[in-house]
Amino acid sequence: MMPVTFCDLDEFETGLLPVLRHFMLSLTRPESQSWQFAYKIAAERWGETLGLPVAQSLFKLVQFTLKARRAGFDAIDPLALDERDFVTRDEQALLQMLHHMRRDDTPRAREAVANVTGCTMDPDVIRAGLSFADRFPAGPVARSQRGQRPELRVVS
């Protein structure tokens, strides 16, 4: 484990960590129903308009990641408060992959995909990651989109 502050993530990516952990828990132990907490946390953090799509996109990525890996995914229990500020290597790899994809840093993203998938370069993981990055990019575009509400316009 390492402190999450060493991962060079932005505030949005750091906010994904508890959501990621709840999804991992719900997929490895379905009886926990932890997915409900993941959606609730995302909606509270980013509002329902942005948070629920973020959670849904992240859930797809988590599902494909677990399917693609030969070994399990090492994630910290989302309810372990004393470990909240730390990440496992697997969590760090997934967040770094999204970090590089959101910035369109292809060489580093490719390397991160290999770390996440165990060198299988699974196309479903890549597609889900790129879809997430396209929908929730980093940078000035992302900042201007986050605060906006959907708006209808009449076009004639």
Q: Is residue 143 part of a domain?
A: no
- The pLDDT-based confidence of 20 (bands split at 50, 70, 90) is very high
122 is a domain residue: yes
Check: CB of residue 78 under 8 Å from CB of residue 37.
yes
How many domains does the chain divide into? 1
Q: Is residue 146 part of a domain?
A: no
For residue 83, the 8-state DSSP code is G
Q: Is residue 154 part of a domain?
A: no
> What pLDDT, on a 0 to 100 scale, did the predictor assign at position 140?
64
**pLDDT tens digits, residue range 93-141?**
999 999 999 999 989 999 999 999 988 889 999 999 999 999 999 876 5
Residue pLDDT, tens place only, 66-104:
999 878 889 999 988 899 999 999 999 999 999 999 999
Give Cα separations from 112 to 10, 38, 68, 133 (angstroms).
17, 24, 14, 14
